[in-house]
């Protein structure tokens, strides 16, 4: 069964796609399949859109996403939270306290993208959840069967909701 082999010049430009029967046979005598073959050329059974020479093994391969960004300057491949500095891709984790995370590509920071109304709605939902936890805690204590671990667990959750509510209030006042 015939296969296509992809031949690249020394600049890694695809220059030919001859048919071969056996890759090992091609490697032994490339001129038989491609008369213009030169030792500076590369052959592959795969077609590469962005070939690069892997110097460790002396073969070509597809460039990685990082190579496309850093070598070819394809900054459109950067994801939110990433930017290039000093030849490296820097990753900035998004803060957990943002309701709608928006990446500012110019200054390389995460910003709040939620509107005032969305922040108010989120605060309301947190208050309702806090109230529900308080009610559960009170009912558990009133039952007379509560153990301290159960109460402590609910109190930890309540403290987190209280902190979240306070943070949202600050954000709302800042808008």
> What pLDDT is stored for residue 85 in this prediction?
96
Rounded Cα distance between 163 and 166, Å, is: 5
pTM, full prediction: 0.70
Instruction: Name every residue whose Cβ is closer than 8 Å to that of residue 51 and which is 6 or more positions away in sequence.
Output: 8, 12, 14, 42, 44, 60, 61, 62, 63
CA 90 to chain centroid, in Å, comes to 12
> What pLDDT is stored for residue 57 in this prediction?
87
> What pLDDT is stored for residue 2 in this prediction?
87
> What pLDDT is stored for residue 4 in this prediction?
94
Widest CA span in the chain: 92
Is residue 23 within 8 A of residue 5, CB to CB? The reply is yes
Rounded Cα distance between 108 and 128, Å, is: 35
What pLDDT tens digit does each residue of the chain (175 aa) get? 789 999 999 999 999 999 998 999 999 999 999 999 999 999 999 999 999 999 888 899 999 999 999 999 999 999 999 999 999 999 999 999 899 999 999 999 999 999 999 999 999 999 999 999 999 999 999 999 999 999 999 999 999 999 999 999 998 998 7
CA 2 to chain centroid, in Å, comes to 39
> What pLDDT is stored for residue 58 in this prediction?
85
């Amino acid at each position: 069964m015939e296969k296509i082999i992809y031949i690249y010049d020394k600049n890694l430009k695809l220059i030919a796609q001859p048919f071969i029967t056996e890759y090992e046979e091609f490697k032994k005598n490339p001129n038989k399949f491609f008369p213009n073959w030169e030792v500076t050329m590369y052959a592959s059974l795969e077609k590469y859109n962005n070939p690069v020479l892997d110097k460790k093994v002396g073969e070509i391969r597809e460039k990685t996403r990082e190579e496309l960004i850093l070598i070819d300057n394809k900054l459109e491949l950067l994801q939110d939270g990433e930017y290039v500095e000093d030849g490296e891709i820097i990753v900035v984790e998004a803060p957990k306290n943002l309701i709608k995370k928006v990446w500012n590509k110019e200054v390389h920071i995460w910003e709040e993208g939620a509107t005032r109304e969305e922040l108010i709605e989120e605060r309301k939902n947190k208050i309702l959840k806090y109230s529900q936890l308080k009610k559960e805690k009170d009912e558990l204590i009133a039952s007379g069967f509560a153990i301290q671990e159960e109460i402590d667990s609910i109190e930890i959750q309540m403290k987190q909701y209280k902190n979240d509510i306070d943070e949202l209030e600050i954000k709302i006042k800042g808008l």
